[in-house]
Structure 1
Amino acid sequence: MKQEKKYLRIDLAPRLMQRLLGRKVWIAFAIVLLSAAACPVAEAQFSGPALGIDTQVNPPLTITTDPAILFPSKRDIYLGDGDLISVHLFANADYAPTVRVGLDGVIQLPLIGNVQVQGLTLNQAQDLIADKLKAAEMFRDPQVSIQIMESPNQVCTVIGELHGVVPILGERRLFDVLAAVGGGSGGGIGVTTIVVGGGGLPSTASHIITINRYGAAQPIVVDLGTDPAKSAMANIPIFPRDTIVVPRVGVVYMLGAFKTQGAIPLQQNSPITLMKVTALAGGNLFEGSSGDLRIIRTTGLTRQVVRVDLKRIIRGQDPDPVLQAEDIVFLPTNPMKAAISSGGVSTLLGIASILILAIQQR
């Protein structure tokens, strides 16, 4: 009996240790969870809300047609912070200070002190300095001229599908700016480069661009068009501080049993149809269920699924549907065709033998 009790104690000791260790592990795990919940460092970062399904992509814009806005007769240069200017007085070589516009838009000139020139044109700044010299009774009728020595503001910015900064001295034409930035190839299927006025636009770029002009109340919307004979109407002048926005054109998504899956940009010069995007995707594969092709279109929060027969469309028996931006073309896979395609001739012979055997047993 003593030996049995001894063995019993030896067997129970490891079990008790395991239970105690197990409790300690669970307690430690609970402490870690509570500390993580109470500690603000454990909170996940969030980069911001995603666009909702009802968000409008490339909303329609009103094309600017007013010649006075598109082709202004004259536009002066605006002064801004960082500009290095030289001030001169006619017939007075002694007064020729060279100063830089501060971050607050102020320059400090001899005899008159601080002068706010931020956002003023050259003519306005010249008149303001002349008035201050005259008010200080330093000169009777000063003739002031300002020369810009160097300036970080004499540039235009291109953003969107094209992006870059182009220096502007006076004015440049829109096509010159686009050519200076340079085009590239987009990331879609059947990528081509659209040549406009000597500059390249990627296939994902829209031909309707927006120009935010400094000092203008409304943005300028220009349609580059697709007819080279009419491109002169879109080649408008670009001035310093203009921002050119080249938006992205809509795409159609190819999904399923196509040779190449992905996004196909909409063409600018003609509507894109189902047969066109099928050709750009390399055609449908053998295992695709051509009689059950689906066009998925989302309008706001409503999703519509239209089933069409691709074979009948190719034969001309059904009309070729015109696709819209953000449409999804889905071609499901036929299981039998997929098995044949993956297995090859051996699978086909096996299916044939099974069919023969089933016929013989009848």
Structure 2
Amino acid sequence: MKRLYNFIILASLLLSGTVWCHAQYTGIAPTSSPGLNIRHPLTTDRTILFPPQQDLTVLPNDVVTLSIFGVTPTFTDVERVALDGTIHLPMAGIIRIGGLTITAAEQKIARFLEEKELFHDAQVNLVLTEMPDHVVTLVGALEKTLPMVGQRRLLDVLSSAGGLPETASTVIKIDRPGVADSIYVDLGNDPSTSLAANIPVFAGDIITTGNVGAFYIVGAVGSPGAHALSGARPVTALMAVATAGGTLETAKRNDASIVRTTGNTRSVIPLPLKDIQEGKVADPVLQADDIVLVPTSILRSIFRTSNATAIVSLAVSMAALLR
């Protein structure tokens, strides 16, 4: 009887030999777990989000037509703004107007001519006749350059660029000339709140639309592999498991984990799926490149119906040989 018992144990180990591989992970896996679902803080300063209506701004490469009224004959000059923002006025010299609004540039030129004693109380009129660099640039999930004259709204610009794809993040980053920090807004997926993020966009803005990427799920699930994250809604761990066909009967649900890469650091975060399903633990939101590991229970794998039948058949055969 003892020999029969030993044969059963040996057969069990042979049948379950491949099971060990499902629970192994050979990558870098520090034991310290980072905080889950940390998001970049959104911009809340309304003076940055909704600045006052801005006049057109003079940019390098613009062609400006300068007219001075109230003098005889009327003075007119056409100049291209240099890369350093300067123009050369006949008889007056070099003056920098790049980065100024039209009104501010007109006032500065009038003072400049007064100081040079060329015109007194000159009425300066400045018109932008060519504006090659008055554009907004979109990078990331959307890669386009759109002409920009005056002020437009963010949703209008995104729509003109073809609209956000399904895999794009709803968090938008805007880098604006003259604003020290990047601007972050979240369009979300609720029309009633997305309007609050529909901020003005100006020429020179660089709009970054990020791809949310994909997550990977391996181990004791129905369809292991890569799955795309959604830009319109968060994907939690339970949603990811459901997307992968659910856990198999051999899964050790409370021993699952998330392998998360932050920079050059890879960390393992415990993921007790059973407790999450029972509402005892919060269901974490996955991030791009997260790997969800669902290990296999060796004992459950051994005593699955197919394996159990094979074990009994092997044990009976061995017992017959020992008679």
TM-score (norm 2): 0.71
Equivalent AA in structure 1 for residue 111 of structure 2:
D
Does residue 71 (structure 1) correspond to residue 34 (structure 2)? The answer is: no
Equivalent of residue 322 in structure 1, options 276, 284, 289: 284
Contact 1:273 1:320 in 2 (8 A): no
Deviation at 1:261, TM superposition (A): 0.7
Equivalent of residue 296 in structure 1, options 226, 248, 258: 258
Q: Which moved more, 1:76-85 or 1:60-69?
A: 60-69
Sequence identity of aligned pairs in percent? 31
Q: What secondary structure, in the 3-state scheme, does the structure 1 residue paired with 2:203 have?
A: coil
Deviation at 1:87, TM superposition (A): 0.7
Deviation at 1:308, TM superposition (A): 4.6
Q: What are the within-5 Å matches in structure 2 for residues 181-200 of structure 1? A: 181-182=161-162, 199-200=163-164
Does residue 168 (structure 1) correspond to residue 148 (structure 2)? The answer is: yes
Deviation at 1:141, TM superposition (A): 1.4
Deviation at 1:241, TM superposition (A): 0.8
Does residue 230 (structure 1) correspond to residue 210 (structure 2)? The answer is: no
Report the counterpart of residue 254 of structure 1 in structure 2: 217
Deviation at 1:327, TM superposition (A): 4.1
Equivalent AA in structure 1 for residue 129 of structure 2:
M
Larger Rg: 1
Kindly tell me the number of residue pairs found equivalent between the two proteins. Answer: 283
Equivalent of residue 137 in structure 2, options 151, 157, 168: 157
Equivalent of residue 202 in structure 1, options 163, 166, 180: 166
Equivalent AA in structure 1 for residue 226 of structure 2:
G
Contact 1:290 1:309 in 2 (8 A): no
Report the counterpart of residue 354 of structure 1 in structure 2: 314
Contact 2:167 2:213 in 1 (8 A): no
Q: Which moved more, 1:54-63 or 1:350-359?
A: 54-63
Does residue 239 (structure 1) correspond to residue 199 (structure 2)? The answer is: no
Tell me: higher relative CO, structure 1 or 2? Use CA pairs within 8 A at least 6 residues apart: 2
Q: What are the within-5 Å matches in structure 2 for residues 22-171 of structure 1? A: 60-91=39-70, 94-171=74-151
Q: Which moved more, 1:246-255 or 1:348-357?
A: 348-357
Rounded to whole Å, the distance in 2 between the matches of 1:58 and 1:313 is 16
Which digits, 9 at most, give the CA deviation of each residue in 1:221-277, with x for residues without a partner? 22213321222211111111112223444754312354141254266545x443310
Contact 1:80 1:118 in 2 (8 A): yes
RMSD: 3.9
Instruction: Note closer, same or farther for the CA distance 1:217–1:359 as it changes in structure 2 (3 Å cut).
Output: same
Contact 2:252 2:294 in 1 (8 A): no
Rounded to whole Å, the distance in 2 between the matches of 1:251 and 1:328 is 9
Equivalent AA in structure 1 for residue 195 of structure 2:
A
More helix per residue: 1 or 2?
Answer: 1
Instruction: Note closer, same or farther for the CA distance 1:64–1:138 as it changes in structure 2 (3 Å cut).
Output: same
Report the counterpart of residue 31 of structure 1 in structure 2: none
Report the counterpart of residue 265 of structure 1 in structure 2: 229
Deviation at 1:59, TM superposition (A): 6.0
Q: Which moved more, 1:228-237 or 1:292-301?
A: 292-301
Contact 1:126 1:145 in 2 (8 A): yes
Unaligned runs of 5+ in 1: 1-52, 183-198
TM-score (norm 1): 0.64
